[in-house]
Amino acid sequence: VVDATLRSALVEHKPRLLELLQQARGAPESIRLEPLPRNGPPPLSLTQERLWRAEVREPDLAPAHIATFAMRLEGPLNRDALTRAVATLVERHEVLRTTFELRGDTPVQVIAPPGSTAMEPVDLCALDAEAQQE
């Protein structure tokens, strides 16, 4: 949703925005983002390391650092389409396939290859509404 302030700014800067988009469309290959080759597992970022150390020190608090969400879908569900969409998302974003492992005394990122994760549906139809919600 675009509010009035943002809409006004977009209108005001439209010519410059269009110019930037045109420049980006013709950008040379040298500035396009490409994955870097890796020689082994990458180190943790500073944020990952902070979360990992917090989990090691206080494992009972670890779930507080995990961002989860639930989504209620209503109407007919195309399971194949949902499965493909989630698989594409996980394939595109390494962070969704990343776990941490100790190598010696050093935590490193272990990134599963694309296609190595699967979404397993859980059918809650046999449970009562309260148990389903929980």
- Residue 99 φ then ψ, to 5°: -125, 170
CATH code at position 107: 3.30.559.10
Give a yes or no: residue 81 inside a domain: yes
Q: What is the pLDDT of residues 71-103, one digit of tens each?
A: 777 899 898 898 889 889 998 888 888 888 889
Identify whether the C-beta of residue 117 lies closer than 8 Å to the C-beta of residue 90: yes
Domain count, the chain: 1
Q: Which residues contact 55 (CB under 8 A, 6 or more apart)?
A: 61, 62, 65
| Rounded Cα gap, residues 95 and 103, in angstroms | 19
Give a yes or no: residue 30 inside a domain: no
- Residue 130 φ then ψ, to 5°: -65, -45
- Is-above-0.85 flag for pTM? no
Give a yes or no: residue 79 inside a domain: yes
**How large is the C-alpha radius of gyration of the chain?**
22
Q: What is the pLDDT of residues 2-30, one digit of tens each?
A: 788 888 888 888 888 888 887 777 665 55
Give a yes or no: residue 19 inside a domain: no
Give a yes or no: residue 68 inside a domain: yes
* Enclosing domain of residue 45: 37-133
